[in-house]
A and B are shown apart, each in its own frame.
Chain A
Amino acid sequence: QQQVKQSPQSLIVQKGGISIINCAYENTAFDYFPWYQQFPGKGPALLIAIRPDVSEKKEGRFTISFNKSAKQFSLHIMDSQPGDSATYFCAALYLYNFNKFYFGSGTKLNVKP
Chain B
Amino acid sequence: NAGVTQTPKFRVLKTGQSMTLLCAQDMNHEYMYWYRQDPGMGLRLIHYSVGEGTTAKGEVPDGYNVSRLKKQNFLLGLESAAPSQTSVYFCASSYGHEQYFGPGTRLTVT
Contacts and interface: CB of A to CB of B under 8 A. Distances in A.
A44 B31 contact: no
Contacts of B58: 100
A95 B92 CA distance: 16
A42 B41 contact: no
A12 interface: no
A43 B102 contact: yes
Interface residues of A, number: 22
Interface residues of B, number: 26
Nearest to A106: B42
Nearest to A32: B97
A32 B101 CA distance: 18
A45 interface: yes
Contact of B97 (A9, A44, A89, A93): A93
A66 interface: no
Given A46-B98, A98-B48, A101-B45, 15 more contacts: A9-B40, A32-B97, A34-B99, A42-B103, A43-B90, A43-B92, A43-B101, A44-B43, A46-B99, A46-B100, A89-B42, A99-B96, A103-B42, A103-B44, A104-B42
Interface of A: 6, 9, 32, 34, 41-46, 49, 89, 93, 95, 98-101, 103-106
